[in-house]
Every structure is written in structure tokens, then in C-alpha cells.
């Protein structure tokens, strides 16, 4: 469906590491690359970081949970890989953005942003980060970036393109 919709200029697929890896690495890589998508993975906090770093992903989507100090340390470890690391939907994971290093990639997506007071949550950090706009397309009706684009416009954020 994602290949059919052609909803974005750059498309990466990043399923949850904890659900699909490492047992399905070969199939996962083959399927993602078959459609010409960028190969990423979504890592749910610090517990899977070491194992995720053993695979050849092009980028990481990372959940940094608000009160879990190990998640912030593990974020820095992922960033040292030299590959893009996107802090995923920080309002949904209650990420403490004051603990995220300046210049980090932070996501605004269609899936969650509308459920939160995004303006209050994100405004203090507009100039601290590079911003990634995402559809987070878990459902076909999310195959666009209209809400994320509108939030970025309101906050006067410029989208960062990775590839």
C-alpha cells in the first residue's frame, strides 16, 4: 500500500525491532529494499539498542521514554553510530526534550501529534532540534503528512530531509 500510494518524496520503512528482529532480518531487508524504500528500524528504548546496532539499518527511529534515564544514555550510543537517529513522537512517549542533545532529529507525525498540546510541548525547543515530519503510516488513511506539515508551519519549523 505504501508503495502504491507514493505519499511522500522520501519513504523509509521502520518496523519495531522487538517484534521482528533478529529472526526475520533477511526477509525484512529483502522486502523493504524490493520497493526501493530506505531501511530503518524502530527501537523501543534502551533494552534493544545494543542488538539493533549489530544490523545494517540506514536509520533508527527511537523511543526515549520520559522517566527512563537509560533511554537517554542509549540515544547517545545510537547517535554515535553515525546513522540518523530520529527521536520518535516525543509527546506520546513523554520524552523530556531538555535531556535530548542539541541538533538531534526529532519527529512530528500525523499519528499522535493531534492528541496532545503540541504547541506547549514543542515550542520551547523549536530552535534546538532538526525536525523530521512523518506520516507514521500504521493505517492507510495516514498516508500523508498534512497534520505534521501544519504543525511545522505553525511552529515555523523547517523540515529536515535525511536522504
Residues 21-79: pLDDT tens digits? 778 889 989 988 898 888 889 999 999 999 999 999 999 999 999 999 999 999 999 99
DSSP three-state, residue 30: helix
Q: What digits encode the pLDDT tens for the residues 109-163?
A: 877 777 889 999 999 999 999 999 876 655 545 556 777 888 899 999 998 888 7
62's grid cell: 527511537
- Beta-carbon neighbour count of residue 27 at 10 Å? 10
Does the pTM exceed 0.75? yes
CA atoms within 13 A on the CB side of 84: 21
Domain ranges of the chain: 2-155
Amino acid at each position: 500500500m505504501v508503495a502504491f500510494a507514493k505519499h511522500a518524496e522520501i519513504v523509509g520503512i521502520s518496523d519495531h525491532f522487538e517484534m521482528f528482529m533478529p529472526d526475520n532480518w533477511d526477509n525484512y531487508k529483502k522486502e523493504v529494499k524490493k520497493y526501493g524504500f530506505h531501511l530503518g528500524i524502530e527501537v523501543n528504548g534502551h533494552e534493544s539498542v545494543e542488538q539493533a546496532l549489530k544490523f545494517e539499518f540506514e536509520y533508527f527511529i527511537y523511543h526515549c521514554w520520559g522517566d527512563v534515564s537509560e533511554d537517554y544514555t542509549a540515544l547517545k550510543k545510537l547517535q554515535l553510530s553515525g546513522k540518523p537517529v530520529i527521536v520518535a513522537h516525543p509527546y506520546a512517549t513523554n520524552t523530556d526534550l531538555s535531556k535530548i542533545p542539541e541538533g538531534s532529529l526529532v519527529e512530528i507525525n500525523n499519528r499522535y501529534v493531534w492528541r496532545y498540546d503540541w504547541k506547549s510541548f514543542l515550542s520551547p525547543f523549536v530552535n534546538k532540534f532538526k525536525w523530521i515530519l512523518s506520516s507514521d503510516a500504521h493505517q492507510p488513511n495516514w498516508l500523508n503528512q498534512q497534520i505534521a506539515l501544519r504543525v511545522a508551519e505553525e511552529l515555523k519549523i523547517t523540515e529536515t530531509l535525511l536522504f
